[in-house]
Homo-oligomer: A and B are copies of this chain.
Amino acid sequence: LTGKYGEGGKLIYELRDQGGELLALRYDLTVPFARYLAMNKITTMKRYHIAKVYRRDSPATSRGRYREFYQCDFDIAGHFDPMIPDAECLKIVHEILSELRLGDFLIKVNDRRILHGVFAVCGVPESKFISTCSSVDKLDKMPWEDVRSEMVGEKGLSPEAADRIGEYVRLHGGLKLIEQLLQDPKLSQNKLAKEGLGDMKLLFEYLTLFGITGKICFDLSLARGLDYYTGVIFEAVLVQQENDHVEEPVSVGSVAGGGRYDGLVGMFDPKGRKVPCVGVSIGIERIFSIMERRVKASGEKVRATETQVLVATPQKHLLGARLKLISELWDAGIKAEMLYRKDPKLLKQLHYCEDTGIPLVAIIGEQELTDGVVKLRVVTTREEVNIPREKLADEIRRRLEPC
């Protein structure tokens, strides 16, 4: 699996078992997905996958950086008409980030072919494309001056080439910028850049139909570190509002990223058969750390269980009655709980509901057993009503329906 991740490859977790077999913990879910497609000769697939990945890195838990963490990937593989699956990936990222109410976000989009075109017309030799890419990728963390000196110093570009790159990669905008660059006398002469810009235009047309261009920005500084991308690339970042007076702002930056990798499956296929793919990875831990901060700030109480009803008894020696009733409720598909005590006090049972947020209590005492009913109590209002036992499950469902 090495050799697919570019400069990030040094963070792969390599292991050796007691028999000396060399193993590695997966670095991401994209390369294993590509390998799966190749090994099973699958040419069309759309799937999501939530699983752990591993980095041999220094953890920084406060910013949601771990050595073992979850990623959620979504990928579309297959030969299709251009940019339709790509637009769907962006629609999904947009939907997820909107639904989670994480605050304002921005999805930056670029295309590796446009970047390579820019490098070519600025006079960068092809052998330096990848290393120049990784310098450009740092533009979100350091000012252009520093990136420029890295290009000239470490990467060995000419100062003129670097300056010319600088003029392009600081551009960002929407459909108008794309059309402007399509008219650019130098870029429009470059085959790769022209292809990339043409597809970018198509993509923005589709995104307009999806109604999501408001949060999507064509940004020429976006490069993404991984080697395997071949076309569109994108990255979602959270935007800190200026009037957002949170005491300890958790700066988590990028929460999702992805792009098109049309060559990766072919690298695993013995005959080199290609399967074009586009996909996105969402960093779950990073999103969790933001959501936890939001919940903490708002003072909301998060319920740890989905229990709908507590089965309770007001007198002693009724454990059997509770077990029989809870079994009936479980069989009817109701999420019911009871205290694992032989003779708990009623007050203790009611307090438990208040502590855990269980909304209803089904109380069964001697009188109720005689009458064939169950007393249903609403925890918040303390209202109580007798329900015929055979109608209890329906009544609980009815009361918990979203109004």
Chain A residues within 8 Å of chain B by Cβ, number: 33
CB distance from A200 to the nearest CB of B (A): 17
> A210 an interface residue at 8 Å Cβ cutoff?
yes
The complex places the Cα of A95 from the Cα of B332 at a distance, in Å, of 12
Task: Mark contacts of A342-375 with chain B using CB atoms, 8 A cut-off: 1 yes-contact digit, 0 otherwise.
Answer: 1000000000000000000000000000000000
Which of B78, B84, B209, B342 is in CB contact (< 8 Å) with A81?
B342
B340 touches A81 (CB 8 A): yes
CB-CB under 8 A from A56, the residues of chain B are 17-18
The complex places the Cα of A80 from the Cα of B341 at a distance, in Å, of 6
The complex places the Cα of A95 from the Cα of B323 at a distance, in Å, of 15
CB-CB under 8 A from A15, the residues of chain B are 15-17, 23
B209 touches A340 (CB 8 A): no
CB distance from A236 to the nearest CB of B (A): 18
CB-CB under 8 A from A78, the residues of chain B are 340
CB-CB under 8 A from A87, the residues of chain B are 323
> A85 an interface residue at 8 Å Cβ cutoff?
yes
A84 touches B340 (CB 8 A): yes
CB-CB under 8 A from A331, the residues of chain B are 95
Number of copies: 2
CB-CB under 8 A from A205, the residues of chain B are 320
Task: Mark contacts of A71-97 with chain B using CB atoms, 8 A cut-off: 1 yes-contact digit, 0 otherwise.
Answer: 000001010110011011001000100
> A146 an interface residue at 8 Å Cβ cutoff?
no
Task: Mark contacts of A313-355 with chain B using CB atoms, 8 A cut-off: 1 yes-contact digit, 0 otherwise.
Answer: 0000001100110010011000000001110000000000000
CB distance from A353 to the nearest CB of B (A): 16
B80 touches A340 (CB 8 A): yes
Write the chain B residue with the least CB distance to A15: B15
CB distance from A140 to the nearest CB of B (A): 29
> A206 an interface residue at 8 Å Cβ cutoff?
yes
CB-CB under 8 A from A330, the residues of chain B are 91, 95
B323 touches A209 (CB 8 A): yes
A340 touches B17 (CB 8 A): no
> A13 an interface residue at 8 Å Cβ cutoff?
yes
CB-CB under 8 A from A209, the residues of chain B are 320, 323-324, 327
The complex places the Cα of A56 from the Cα of B23 at a distance, in Å, of 13
> A306 an interface residue at 8 Å Cβ cutoff?
no
CB distance from A385 to the nearest CB of B (A): 26
Write the chain B residue with the least CB distance to A20: B16
> A292 an interface residue at 8 Å Cβ cutoff?
no
Q: Which of A94-140 contact B (CB under 8 A)?
A: 95
Q: Contacts A209-B320, A209-B324 known; list 11 others, CB within 8 Å.
A: A14-B18, A15-B16, A15-B17, A84-B319, A87-B323, A88-B340, A95-B330, A205-B320, A209-B323, A210-B323, A211-B327
A-B residue pairs, 10 tightest by C-beta = A80-B340, A209-B323, A15-B15, A84-B340, A81-B342, A210-B327, A209-B324, A14-B18, A81-B341, A16-B16
Q: List 19 contacting pairs A-B, 8 Å CB cutoff, sorted by A.
A: A18-B56, A78-B340, A80-B340, A81-B319, A81-B341, A84-B319, A84-B340, A85-B340, A87-B323, A88-B340, A91-B330, A95-B331, A205-B320, A209-B323, A209-B327, A210-B323, A210-B324, A210-B327, A211-B327
